[in-house]
Protein backbone atom coordinates (compact mmCIF):
# COMPACT_ATOMS: atom_id res chain seq x y z
CA UNK A 1 0.00 0.00 0.00
CA UNK A 2 1.28 3.44 -0.86
CA UNK A 3 1.02 5.77 2.13
CA UNK A 4 1.43 9.33 3.24
CA UNK A 5 4.75 9.82 4.99
CA UNK A 6 4.27 9.04 8.67
CA UNK A 7 0.54 8.22 8.30
CA UNK A 8 -0.83 6.09 11.11
CA UNK A 9 -3.61 3.53 10.66
CA UNK A 10 -7.16 4.85 10.97
CA UNK A 11 -8.97 4.12 14.23
CA UNK A 12 -11.68 1.45 14.26
CA UNK A 13 -15.07 3.18 13.92
CA UNK A 14 -13.66 6.29 12.22
CA UNK A 15 -15.55 7.62 9.18
CA UNK A 16 -13.27 8.04 6.17
CA UNK A 17 -13.59 8.40 2.39
CA UNK A 18 -12.76 5.66 -0.09
CA UNK A 19 -12.23 7.32 -3.48
CA UNK A 20 -11.91 5.64 -6.87
CA UNK A 21 -9.54 7.31 -9.35
CA UNK A 22 -9.23 6.87 -13.10
CA UNK A 23 -5.95 6.50 -15.01
CA UNK A 24 -5.54 10.31 -14.97
CA UNK A 25 -6.01 10.48 -11.15
CA UNK A 26 -9.46 12.07 -11.52
CA UNK A 27 -12.04 11.13 -8.89
CA UNK A 28 -14.67 8.80 -10.36
CA UNK A 29 -16.50 7.80 -7.16
CA UNK A 30 -16.54 8.58 -3.44
CA UNK A 31 -17.76 6.18 -0.75
CA UNK A 32 -18.00 7.36 2.87
CA UNK A 33 -17.14 4.25 4.92
CA UNK A 34 -16.39 3.25 8.52
CA UNK A 35 -13.14 1.56 9.46
CA UNK A 36 -13.60 -1.97 10.81
CA UNK A 37 -9.91 -2.87 10.61
CA UNK A 38 -6.80 -1.06 9.34
CA UNK A 39 -3.74 -3.25 9.66
CA UNK A 40 -0.78 -4.12 7.44
CA UNK A 41 -2.36 -7.39 6.24
CA UNK A 42 -6.02 -6.32 5.89
CA UNK A 43 -8.20 -3.23 5.59
CA UNK A 44 -11.90 -3.80 6.30
CA UNK A 45 -14.41 -1.01 5.61
CA UNK A 46 -18.17 -0.95 6.22
CA UNK A 47 -20.50 0.81 3.80
CA UNK A 48 -23.94 1.03 5.47
CA UNK A 49 -27.17 1.00 3.52
CA UNK A 50 -28.46 4.52 2.88
CA UNK A 51 -25.01 6.11 2.85
CA UNK A 52 -24.89 9.07 0.49
CA UNK A 53 -22.12 8.57 -2.04
CA UNK A 54 -20.92 10.03 -5.32
CA UNK A 55 -20.94 7.85 -8.43
CA UNK A 56 -20.42 8.25 -12.16
CA UNK A 57 -23.49 8.50 -14.39
CA UNK A 58 -23.59 8.39 -18.17
CA UNK A 59 -25.22 11.39 -19.86
CA UNK A 60 -27.90 10.51 -22.43
CA UNK A 61 -27.46 6.74 -22.04
CA UNK A 62 -30.20 4.47 -23.36
CA UNK A 63 -30.76 1.53 -20.95
CA UNK A 64 -30.04 -1.80 -22.59
CA UNK A 65 -27.34 -0.41 -24.90
CA UNK A 66 -23.58 -0.79 -24.39
CA UNK A 67 -22.00 1.70 -22.01
CA UNK A 68 -19.15 3.82 -23.34
CA UNK A 69 -17.18 5.79 -20.75
CA UNK A 70 -15.33 8.55 -22.61
CA UNK A 71 -14.54 12.12 -21.61
CA UNK A 72 -17.54 14.39 -21.75
CA UNK A 73 -20.28 11.73 -21.68
CA UNK A 74 -20.48 11.20 -17.90
CA UNK A 75 -20.76 13.23 -14.70
CA UNK A 76 -20.59 12.62 -10.97
CA UNK A 77 -23.95 12.40 -9.19
CA UNK A 78 -25.15 11.84 -5.64
CA UNK A 79 -26.61 8.45 -4.82
CA UNK A 80 -27.82 6.55 -1.74
CA UNK A 81 -26.27 3.12 -1.18
CA UNK A 82 -28.95 0.40 -1.39
CA UNK A 83 -27.37 -2.44 0.57
CA UNK A 84 -24.95 -3.23 3.38
CA UNK A 85 -21.40 -3.90 2.19
CA UNK A 86 -18.22 -5.00 3.94
CA UNK A 87 -15.17 -4.16 1.79
CA UNK A 88 -12.11 -6.35 2.43
CA UNK A 89 -8.75 -5.33 0.92
CA UNK A 90 -5.27 -6.74 1.32
CA UNK A 91 -3.39 -3.44 0.94
CA UNK A 92 -0.77 -4.55 -1.62
CA UNK A 93 -3.35 -6.31 -3.83
CA UNK A 94 -5.13 -4.78 -6.83
CA UNK A 95 -8.57 -6.12 -5.94
CA UNK A 96 -11.06 -6.02 -3.09
CA UNK A 97 -13.77 -8.43 -1.96
CA UNK A 98 -17.16 -6.83 -1.34
CA UNK A 99 -19.47 -8.90 0.89
CA UNK A 100 -23.12 -7.85 0.42
CA UNK A 101 -26.35 -8.05 2.45
CA UNK A 102 -29.90 -7.06 1.46
CA UNK A 103 -31.92 -4.38 3.31
CA UNK A 104 -33.46 -7.31 5.25
CA UNK A 105 -29.91 -8.35 6.29
CA UNK A 106 -29.92 -11.49 4.13
CA UNK A 107 -26.52 -12.48 2.72
CA UNK A 108 -26.45 -11.70 -1.02
CA UNK A 109 -23.01 -12.97 -1.91
CA UNK A 110 -19.71 -11.38 -2.67
CA UNK A 111 -18.17 -9.42 -5.50
CA UNK A 112 -14.52 -9.03 -6.53
CA UNK A 113 -13.72 -5.42 -7.45
CA UNK A 114 -10.62 -4.98 -9.62
CA UNK A 115 -8.93 -1.76 -8.57
CA UNK A 116 -5.59 -0.03 -8.13
CA UNK A 117 -3.51 -0.58 -5.02
CA UNK A 118 -4.72 1.41 -2.01
CA UNK A 119 -3.10 4.77 -1.34
CA UNK A 120 -3.53 6.18 2.15
CA UNK A 121 -4.54 9.86 2.20
CA UNK A 122 -5.47 12.24 5.03
CA UNK A 123 -9.16 11.64 4.08
CA UNK A 124 -9.02 7.83 3.82
CA UNK A 125 -7.97 5.68 0.86
CA UNK A 126 -7.70 6.24 -2.88
CA UNK A 127 -7.56 3.36 -5.34
Determine contact, residues 49/82, Cβ cutoff 8 Å: yes
Q: What is the pLDDT of residue 116?
A: 92
CB atoms within 10 A of CB 125: 27
Q: What is the pLDDT of residue 24?
A: 84
pLDDT at 1: 63
Radius of gyration over alpha carbons of the chain, in Å? 15
Give me the tens of pLDDT residue by residue for the chain, a chain 127 residues long: 666 655 789 999 999 999 999 888 889 999 999 999 999 999 999 999 999 999 988 888 788 888 777 777 889 999 999 899 999 999 889 999 999 999 898 999 999 999 999 999 999 999 9
Amino acid sequence: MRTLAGAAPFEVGKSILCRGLDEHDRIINVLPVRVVRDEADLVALWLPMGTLSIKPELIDHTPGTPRCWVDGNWRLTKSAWRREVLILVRPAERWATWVKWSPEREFQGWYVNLQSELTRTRLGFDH
